A and B are shown apart, each in its own frame.
Chain A
Amino acid sequence: MAAPQFEVPKLTGYAETPAVKEGASAHIKSFPASESVQAAIGFPGGLVEDWHDKAIAKMGDLLNRYRSLRVFMDACVHCGACTDKCHYFLGTGDPKNMPVARQDLMRQVYRRHFTFAGKYFPALVGAKDLTEDLLQEWYTYYYQCSECRRCSVFCPYGIDTAEVTMAGREILDTVGIGQKYTNEIMGKLHKIGNNLGLPGPALANTLEGLEEDILDATGAPVKLPIDVKGAEILLVTPSADFFSEPHVESLVGYAKVFHATGASWTLSSKASEAGNFGMFIGSYENMRRAALRIREAALELGVKRIVVGECGHAWRVAYSFWNTLTGVGAGGADPFSIELQKQLDSRYPAPQHICEYTYDLIQQGKLNFDKSLNDHRVITFHDSCNVARGARMSDMPGGQFVIPREVIKAVANNFHDMAEETIGESTFCCGGGGGILSDDLMEIRVKGALPRMEAFNNVVQEHKVNFLALICAICKAQFTKVVPYYGFDMSMVGGVHQLVSTAILLVDERENENQE
């Protein structure tokens, strides 16, 4: 796809709140899902006949299912604290990208149908009927939200726009309006086992090639085992790690860490995807179905531990929802969950993040590094939104912020954080999360990356930073594509375990053979 034409924002060195430009991003819309794509994940394709009543009924269903949604609909006092917190508003100036306005697209319909005042005096309370035009507006603006939850950090009532967006997308899917990007991928995951649609033989071939590469480069016979029954650890990682640059560099890093301590581990062709796009569209059924593949694989392989690779949304689903979805962690009460809980080794966190796994080994002094091998890099770390605000890491408060940074500092000498208001809990989304990482949304992706690019540019200028370290496949893909628009080279983007991979010292067994 040739690069789309639009004006790329200029970096000024300051994070400025833009002047409001009505409709500035109203034209940015992703391709709708076809009938077959929708059918594969259990939704109708094309606007259904009785769409109005179905949409309202679905909204009622969700309001009953999720108490939080009703609270979010009721609680907003329009104080405006969220207005300048969204990267898509900051990048476009479109007032409908203010989180409050994005929520109001649904809130006005909620009031019309689910509140006394709205039913009888709609004009007084800003209640509106759901029209086809409004539905299209939902489609536009609920797919210009990456569900990153930055706005909710600043909301005095804790209203979570991500949940509103998820509900909006689910209502849209229910009446036949789905997004091609997310829903097509969801279908591939159900059918083949990963978002890429990478079949088992291709995966095996790819892993074999990587083993050869690592052996050539290091002399260490690092393995990337797949479907090994009786292995202790199951690694579930985004399929992009098998396919793309720079993602694959982190996969090599995980494998080297496992190799260095002689860990017994395996990948799974059935659970060859950590990412779970079911969350993006608020579809509990699809999210559960995707998560269950991992439980099936864990039970079949008989593993004792489950470790999750560098994947932001995956980690949110794994850390926050796997317990009741699949029985990984406490909470699931069905027989398979109970079986899995018995099988997993309770001395280790279930699930465990790969950064947590590596950090633990570093603490124990079990890994050897030559930090100077990373001396050509000056590194900064971008907190991925769903790790920062949707999960934690280990039982340490703020572990999700501390652990990745400690891993980086253990393997490299040059590290500088970006401005405080743009990292940690207040991190900006990369601009491509939550189903926005689609080529047809490139304009919103580039503009939404503006706040992160400002903060990044400042550390580039000030500290000569030349490496943006990440722990999310979407962040990696998004920044690789987007940083060139802002004048940076795509080779500045990479993974935390890519840095580990560079510095880790492994025994060159070829040398030993020669000596013998």
Chain B
Amino acid sequence: MGFEINGKTYETDEEGYLVNLSEWDEEAAKYLAAEEKVDLTESHWEVINFLREYYNDYQIAPAVRVLTKAIGKKLGPEKGNSKYLYELFPYGPAKQACKIAGLPKPTGCI
């Protein structure tokens, strides 16, 4: 399973998550977002970039509280809440945003 953009192939799992984190680039993010029917704006990119930075440091996506706090600090307290994140990523900031950011899917009772 996978997709191809400009001759570059990206491998995905059954649920459409990238298999290799290192293959991710902006083109892949745009493709994955379109699949999720999410129109990427500057606000989405803020979240995506934070997710990738955090993953680099901790090998896991940030907890929702960590994410809302970081976004709140960066973009103002009115955006530091899960409601804002759900507006950006209606299927849930954890799973949908991770997918577009090329991170593995968070698993468990979530």
Contact = CB atoms under 8 A, between A and B. Distances in A.
Interface of A: 1-3, 31, 180-181, 184-185, 188, 194-199, 201-202, 205-206, 209-210, 213, 238-240, 242-245, 247-248, 275, 311, 437, 439-440, 473-474, 476-477, 481, 490
- The 10 A-B residue pairs with the shortest CB-CB distance in the complex, in nearest-first order: A195-B108, A473-B109, A202-B58, A240-B109, A243-B63, A244-B110, A196-B108, A31-B14, A474-B109, A206-B63
Contacts of B108: 185, 194-196, 238-240, 243, 275, 473
**Main secondary structure on A side of the interface with B:** helix
B58 to A, nearest CB: 4
Contacts of A248: 63-65
Contacts of B69: 209, 213
B82 to A, nearest CB: 5
Nearest to A274: B109
Name the residue in B58, B99, B106, B110 with the highest tally of chain A Cβ atoms < 10 Å from its Cβ.
B110
Contact of A243 (B82, B96, B106): B106
**Main secondary structure on B side of the interface with A:** loop
Contacts, number: 97
A244 B60 contact: no
Interface residues of B, number: 28
Interface stretch (B2-10, B21-29, B45-53, B87-95): B87-95
Contacts of A210: 65
A481 B91 CA distance: 8
B59 interface: yes
13 contacts: A1-B15, A31-B14, A188-B107, A199-B59, A202-B62, A206-B65, A209-B69, A213-B65, A239-B108, A243-B64, A244-B109, A473-B108, A477-B109
B110 A439 contact: no
B17 to A, nearest CB: 9
Nearest to A30: B14
Contacts of B66: 205-206, 209
Given A2-B37, A196-B106, A196-B108, A244 B94 contact: yes
Contacts of B110: 196, 240, 243-244, 247, 473, 477
A240 B108 CA distance: 7
A275 B36 CA distance: 30
Contacts of B92: 481
Interface string B31-74: 00001110000000000000000000011101111100100000
